[in-house]
């Protein structure tokens, strides 16, 4: 399962929402602060949030002064519980087929979504058209050292160069994620006129692990990759 099928599945959704509500994932401690550090000031920007889920990032950008946030997600269940804000518009759509007006955004963001997409190149190409000159694209994905193994059982890095789908158990059996190497993602961005501004691999501090012992595994291998890239004219 992937995309809307996954997040609309009641068993998966119950597990995912429990993880988020109880702060047991990586989001609050690692992903949200790392993403915030890469984002430009939102004031006056037209923002596109790709795979917005329940809208936490969209809300932070709207509160930060974005003139408007178009927040897109394939899952009706996620959008049903999404936080409301007068400058956020939600749209239910699969990113694989999403079409938007050229040059209508200044900032495109995506938190922990793009490893669910098979066609990264196609989406990056469309994002490059949706952004106005000087626009920025900031995203996080599961780190390729984590997505790489074809068999996740022993936790060792393996099969790194073999890009493509991986099946994992995560609340339900057979969750499909797509593994891509770092150089392939960077190459795709460059091909579509993006220039890298930052690459981050956040890991928890010792203090964070003391407070939240479930994070200890992430000191051994980076769980997240974040990239910020600017569109060249
Ligand atoms: C891990 S959640 C992240 C949600 C949000 N970005 C956040 O950080 O809280 C992944 C989200 O991606 C969405 N998603 C996955 N594949 C998608 C696709 N092909 N098109 C649109 N949304 C998708 C899911 O529905 C889910 O809301």
The residue ranges of every structural domain in the chain are 3-231
For the chain, counts of helices (H) and of strands (E): 9, 9
Q: pLDDT at residue 86 above 90?
A: yes
- E strand or H helix at 164, and its extent? strand 164-170
Is the CB of 26 within 6 Å of ligand 1? no
Residues in CB range of 68: below 8 A, 6 or more apart: 46, 47, 87, 88, 89
pLDDT tens digits, residue range 180-224? 999 999 999 999 999 999 999 999 999 999 999 989 999 999 999
CATH class of 3-231: alpha beta
Closest CA to ligand 1's atom 15: 3
The alpha carbon of 190 and the centre of ligand 1 are apart by a number of angstroms equal to 24
Closest CA to ligand 1's atom 14: 3
pLDDT tens digits, residue range 45-62? 999 999 999 999 999 999
**What is this structure's pTM?**
0.96
Closest CA to ligand 1's atom 9: 53
Is the CB of 66 within 6 Å of ligand 1? no
């Amino acid at each position: 399962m992937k995309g809307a099928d996954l997040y609309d599945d009641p068993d998966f959704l119950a597990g995912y929402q429990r993880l988020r509500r109880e702060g047991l994932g990586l989001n609050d401690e690692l992903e949200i602060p790392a993403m915030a550090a890469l984002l430009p000031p939102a004031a006056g920007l037209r923002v596109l949030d790709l795979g917005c889920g329940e809208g936490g990032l969209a809300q932070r950008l709207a509160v930060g002064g974005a003139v408007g946030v178009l927040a897109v997600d394939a899952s009706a269940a996620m959008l049903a519980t999404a936080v409301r804000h007068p400058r956020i518009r939600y749209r239910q759509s699969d990113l694989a087929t999403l079409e938007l007006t050229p040059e209508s955004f200044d900032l495109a963001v995506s938190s922990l979504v793009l490893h669910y997409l098979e066609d990264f190149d196609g989406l990056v190409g469309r994002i490059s058209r949706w952004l106005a000159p000087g626009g920025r694209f900031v995203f996080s994905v599961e780190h390729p050292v984590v997505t790489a193994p074809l068999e996740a059982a022993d936790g060792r890095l393996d099969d790194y160069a073999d890009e493509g789908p991986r099946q994992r158990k995560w609340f339900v059996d057979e969750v499909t994620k797509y593994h891509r190497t770092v150089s392939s993602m960077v190459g795709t961005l460059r091909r579509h006129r993006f220039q890298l501004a930052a690459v981050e691999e956040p890991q928890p501090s010792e203090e964070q692990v003391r407070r939240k012992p479930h994070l200890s595994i992430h000191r051994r291998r980076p769980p997240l990759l974040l990239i910020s890239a600017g569109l060249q004219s």
